[in-house]
Every structure is written in structure tokens, then in C-alpha cells.
Amino acid sequence: MDFKKLLVFLGLSAALLYGWSYLFPPALVPTQNASTTPAIQGPPLSSQPVTQTPPEMATLQSGKRIYVVTDVLKAQIDTVGGDLRKLELLKHNSAVNTQQPLELFSDKKGQVHVAQTGLISTDQKRVSVPDHKTLFATQKDHYALKDSDKIEVRLTAPITLGLSVDKVYVFHRGSYIIDVRYDIANHSNAPVSLTAYYRFLRGNQSTEGESSFTSTFTGPALYTQKDKFQKIPFDDLDSAKASYPHQTNDGWVAMIQHYFMSAWIFQPNGKKNACKQSCYFDVTPLQNNLYSAGVLTPLPLIKPGEQQSFDMTLFSGPQEYDTLTKIAPGLELAKDYGWAHIFAAPLFWLLTNLQDIVLNWGWAIVLLTLIVKALFYPLTATSYRSMAKMRTVAPKLQQIKERYGEDRMKLQQATMELYKTEKINPLGGCLPILVQIPVFFGLYSALLASVELRQSPWIGWIHDLSRPDPFYILPALMAITMIAQTFLSPPPADPVQAKMMKIMPIVFSIMFFFFPAGLVLYWLVSNILSIMQQWYVNRRVAS
């Protein structure tokens, strides 16, 4: 494409990418303050309006560590609060050190991301119940998945006023789902009224290894059947701009990041709803640059001599589309394509089906590019014909410029008269390009968000399509194709534009040095096909 068309493409692309979410923000439901949260109706629950929030502390305290190993996870639980303090995904390596597993949870300073749960008493006479500051006891400190399909880790809180509480983690073979259960026995002579809370505590640090060229959303996200998927940026929490549905009977609350997520799920597919009547989202900034995203669940009254169990499902793992759709409604929306979702979702569906055929994500990207190019060929052919005609009249345009010199009015009139005589529409190549912009961003979003490409090889030196080309071969080839395209495009009459046309391939190539190899592969194949198409059209027009 010529320089002006390139500017149009880049300008409109930026406007679409950054302006859409500003001009058309998703509708958000106003947040209800705790003091205005409506009372819960229905069966007797703990059951005052949820005005309590989890107790806070300035720093995470540490006790003894409990180590858990499954075939896909390695976890550390701290006896203080029974927090899940560290979680490594054994089948996904670190973006910083490929020899180490990815660390999704951590309690290191500056890298805090942990899962906490606890209980709150709604009875003013009973002020002490196990929360995330309680010291739990356990029978052993090492658990490993061997011949069984699950591991159960039981932590026991000190008995207080006749209340016995066990916190139980259940890890499953081949699964990123962790069941968290409270077994509560009331040995007192009075009913017990409690609220359980489940939350993530996280700093606002970016995802490891993420570059400014491929930055994605990191932060809290919510989903309900009524209000659908909503992201809450950390900055909005800091400035009190965040708005989210406070009361819900379904859904999930999560911390999401590039490729991975953790979610408290109220009603997974095939399981009972953990919200006995209503749950309450709690998303708020804390001290020390930490943020809490979780849910408070009023529990049914526990009568004297009664024992009850209460479950909540925790998912912590990769955003694999097929996996997420099987766990809970709407969970696949965490694989966030942004405004391009309407284009990205079907393109990703097509990409996965191609991968099922060729069994290689790199070749699936090549096939996807071929299909997209074929579908848009009628439009692109129009653009290439317009550019080819512009190329044939370039000498006449140069003569007109020399004839009229600095008289821009006569220069423009003569140029338009030439276009009319030669039956050339100078904007003929723009519309096909504009039509393809949403598709381009759809492909970009689909490839950028696909954890399926992570650690997936293509050929030879490309061992991970989600990382930049280690030898910069693909960006270099892309630069060559961009330079080749400039020779096929009509030469700009303006010397400054001509210089810019020579510089742009270098600038783009440097930028693409930092892009994932899968994205560069798509662009490279697209450029090669464009060169072939434009060369073919140029020959036909010239003949």
C-alpha cells in the first residue's frame, strides 16, 4: 500500500483499538455500600445483612508450610490462616526461567498473589472464629498424589466456645480445580451464625515476562448471569471509580492475567450452589499496594449439636478454552479478547479446528492466514487493481507536478482530472483495507490471548509460538517482505514520503522483534500472500 493508505490504516487501527472501549464502555451496575446491602430473604441464614468484611493485617504472617504435589500442581499451604500461599503449574514453565515451573501464587514481597479464606461471626457474643489469621494444625506437612485420584489436606482450628472448625483442601489428579471445604461442628448450646469469605489477595504487579508490546489485562474480574463479564482495573479501585454488582446468586470472582487465572466459583457445572441464598462480591484496595477480590457467603444457621459442611470451588490454571467451558458458565470469558471478541472468538474456533487437523499450532496459523486471505481476495483485488493503476500513471503524475510546481490548487485539479480520465479512484484501495482492520485485530487478539500457543513449537528454532523468535529470523523475513511490497506499490511523488516508505519496514521489524513468534508468523505469511496477489494483479493491469 502507498504511504497515505498506510497512515490511514495505522490511524484507524489505533482509533479502533483505543477509542472503542472509551466511546462504548460496558454497562456496569452501581456498587452498593455495605451499609445499604439488602437483608437476605428466605431460609434462616447467618443472616444479617453482610456488613462484616474480612479482618485485615498489614503483612502476611507465616507459620509452618504444608507441601502438596499432584501431577499438575505443586502447592504450599501456610498454617497461618490455612492460606494457599504458593502454587506452581508443573506443565507450564516460567516466562523468565524456562527451567522452572510457572508460579501462579506467591507470597514473596512485591509478588503477592495468594488465596485466603475464613469465617466471620455475625453473633456479637461470639467474636472469635477461624479466619486468615488463625493458626491451624495438621497431621503432616507433606502430601503427594500417588495411586489415588485425589489428595485431602485437613487443617484444624483451635476449638473456641464449643465451635469445631476444619478447613479441607481437596486436590484432584490432572485438574486445576481445588475444592475448599469447611467442616463445622457446633458443640455449644446455642445456634451459630457465620459468614464465610473466599478471596484473592494480590499486588498490582504485571505478569512475568510481559512486554509493553503485548500487555494484557491483569486484575479482578466478575461474572454473573445477569451482569455478565466485567473487569475491574486496579487504577479504578484506587480512584474509587470501580463499579460492580454487589449481590449475586451465581457466577464467579477471579484474578486474571495473561494466559492464566484463579477463580472462586459459586456453582460449577454439576455441583450445588455454594451461595445458599445470596453471595456478596468484595473487591477493594488494601494497604501496601494489595487488592482483595472475593466473595462473602452467609451460611445456614448451625444448631446446637449439629455438624455441617460448606464447599467452594477454586480454579487456578491456564485459560484453555475447552477446559473453562466445562467448569462453569461464563468462565471462558476470562480468555478476554476485548472489543474484538466478536471477530476473535470465531477465528480462534477455526484455528483450534485447524490445529486438530494438522496437530501443530504454527501450521494452523499458516492455514488460517490462507483461509482469511482467500475470503478477502475479492476486496483486496480491488485495492491492488487501484494501486496497480496508480503505478501506471505515476510518470504522468510526476509530469503534472513539474508543470504546476508550487501551485497546489492547479496541481490538485490536474491530478483529479487525470484520475477521471484514467478511471482511477484514488480511494479505491482504502475501503477493502478498512473492512479488514477488525479481522486483523480479531486475529491479533485471538493469537495474543491463546495460552494454547504457549510452549507450542512450530519448526526448527521456533520452540514456543508465544515467545519472540530467539534468532529474529521471522522479523527479518517480515522486513524483507515489507520492503518488497514498497517496490510493488506506486512510488510516492513526495520525496519525504518516499523516504518514510523506506524507513517504515525497518521500524515495523524492530517492533515485531518483541512480538510473539505466532503473531509474526501470521503477519509474515499474510505479507507473502499479499506480494503474490499484488504481483499477479500488477501484471494483469500492465498487460
Whether 479 and 509 have beta carbons less than 8 Å apart is answered as yes
pLDDT value for 379? 75
Task: Extract the C-alpha cell encoding 148.
Answer: 489415588
Q: What is the mean pLDDT of each run of 10 residues along the chain (543 residues)?
A: 41 40 36 31 37 66 95 97 97 88 93 95 78 94 92 95 95 97 94 94 80 76 91 88 75 94 93 83 88 93 94 96 94 88 91 95 95 84 70 76 77 78 65 71 87 92 92 90 77 61 74 87 90 78 61
Give how far Cα 333 sits from Cα of 8, 179, 329, 338, Å.
Answer: 32, 22, 9, 10
Helix or strand (DSSP H, E) at 358:
helix 341-358
Show me where the domains of the chain are located: 3-16+345-542, 64-208+216-336
pLDDT digits (tens, 9 = 90+) for 343-360: 999 999 999 999 999 999
For 64-208+216-336, the fitting CATH number among 3.40.50.1100, 3.40.605.10, 2.40.110.10, 2.70.98.90 is 2.70.98.90
The pLDDT assigned to 245 comes to 65
Give the per-residue pLDDT at 377.
81
> In Å, how far from its chain's centre is CA 70?
26
Instruction: Please name which of 325, 312, 154, 334 lies closest in space to residue 262, comparing C-alpha atoms.
Output: 334
Q: How far, in Å, CA of 510 to CA of 9, rounded?
A: 19
**What pLDDT, on a 0 to 100 scale, did the predictor assign at position 433?**
65
CA separation (Å) from 473 to 263, 323, 375, 422, 504?
Answer: 39, 34, 28, 42, 18
Q: What is the dihedral of CA 515, 521, 522, 526, to 10 degrees?
A: 120
Q: Which three cell numbers stand for residue 91?
A: 506443565
CA dist list (Å): 92 to 254, 255, 259, 308, 399: 20, 18, 10, 37, 62
Residue 339, Cβ neighbours under 10 Å: how many? 19
